[in-house]
Copies of this chain bind each other. A is one copy, B any other.
Amino acid sequence: MSTTENRLRVYEQTKPLFNIPDGVTYLDGNSLGPLPLSTADRMGRVIQQQWGVELIRAWNTAGWYVQPRKLGDRIARLIGAETGSVTVGDTLSLKVYQALSAALEMNRDRKIVLSDTGNFPTDLYMAEGLIATLGRGHQLRLVRPEEIEESLSEEIAVLYITEVDYRTGRRHNMAELTARAHALGIVTVWDLAHSTGALPVDLARVGADFAAGCTYKYLNGGPGAPAFLYIAPRHADHARPALSGWMGHAKPFAFDLGYAPAVGIERMRIGTPPVLAMAALEASLDIWDRIDMHEVRARSLELADLLIGEVERLCPQLRLVTPRSHEERGSQVSFAFERGYAAMQALIAHGVIGDFRAPDIMRFGITPLYIGKAEVMRAIEVIERVFTRELWRRPEYDVVHAVT
């Protein structure tokens, strides 16, 4: 897949494949990717023909049972993972939990999980929960992102971080940190939530141990789409599944009373897979199969530079929090602004959808499959209007929603 012949030219050939509502400039694909035009039909067929007609037989005839691995292999290409090393299912919270649990067991003599304050909170919460369940004196040590490298030591059991910071867009150097961690006997767990589909990832080459990510952001898998888990093949047959469900059993349909893990990554399946959600993901991966991640990256940096330059020039009230260096950032651009919540509401009301992350971060996702120079210029125009006229002062933009 993604051979030169069938490759799609990013933006020119991909934008027509997505449903972007009229009047909307959508810079929130880093939170929820927009709808591929082919998804509804695919879902309709799976519902009507597979569920509706094949019924229970579709587990075999339509391949439902093997979907977690088949979809995993398609994601594997995008993150530089080996074939057969990725499984799809559940949520990212659960997948990082599975990874962290297995990683800690590989380093039983050490008690410290090292993470940073830029990690997405659910990763930290899941670690807290696991540590409490373990009850063996593990500690979650949080440092600032820029302190991670100096905090690696032979005391650390697991390095447990997100490559790209969900608020600032700051990017860790995965290759360097992994090498340094390994030299110190540390096992690594990478959260790829803001990497997968955003930039090239090369898990096999950097020698990553565990990684997890989600598919509802850059990959356009749909709201609440399933997550994925990667385990390096050298570990996969040794990793103990803490969440040992029947789908990860060596012989699920023998219905044995005792658990025996399946070979390889399959052991990290848990319960019955989410067939309908996987149907939507399958439709979006039909696009991603034909994408060159290096092309995505080049376009995303170019567009982000344009956004940064113009917003800094036109809106001095906004303070860039995303690193300027290409190497040190992901695919989103974030600005700090004290009244950022209201300002983002004002932008949304004027057709530019980004999002807000407490306490003061305005995020703009750069997603080149459907965002090009025209969309970024339009966003800049609206941002300028909102800030020049201080539209964020209007009381209607202070209404707080359940989900921000």
A contact set with B: CB distance below 8 Å: 19, 21, 24, 26, 28, 31-32, 34-35, 39-40, 43-44, 47-48, 50-53, 55-60, 64-66, 90-94, 97, 101, 117, 120-122, 124-126, 128-130, 132-136, 142, 167, 214, 216, 222-227, 240-247, 249, 253-259, 270-278, 280, 348, 353, 355, 357-358, 401-404
Contact = CB atoms under 8 A, between A and B. Distances in A.
A48 B60 CA distance: 29
A332 B271 CA distance: 22
A342 to B, nearest CB: 15
Given A35-B51, A101-B133, A224-B276, 10 more contacts: A21-B55, A28-B56, A32-B56, A65-B403, A94-B243, A128-B244, A129-B241, A129-B243, A134-B135, A224-B277
Contacts of A167: 255
Contact of A258 (B56, B128, B241, B348): B128
Contact of A19 (B52, B65, B259, B276): B52
A271 B40 contact: no
A101 B135 CA distance: 13
A168 to B, nearest CB: 13
A122 B246 contact: yes
A315 to B, nearest CB: 22
Q: What are the nearest 10 A-B pairs in CB distance? A: A91-B271, A129-B244, A122-B246, A223-B275, A93-B271, A93-B245, A59-B403, A125-B259, A224-B274, A224-B275
A265 to B, nearest CB: 17
Contact of A90 (B53, B66, B94): B94
A26 B55 contact: yes
B55 A47 contact: no
A241 B355 CA distance: 29
A282 B160 CA distance: 37
Contact of A245 (B65, B122, B272): B122
Contacts of A243: 93-94, 97, 126, 129
B48 A223 contact: no
Residue among A258, A272, A358 with the highest chain B CB neighbour number at 10 A = A272
Contact of A353 (B19, B50, B57, B134): B57
A358 B247 CA distance: 16
A28 B51 CA distance: 13
B129 A222 contact: no
A93 B240 CA distance: 17
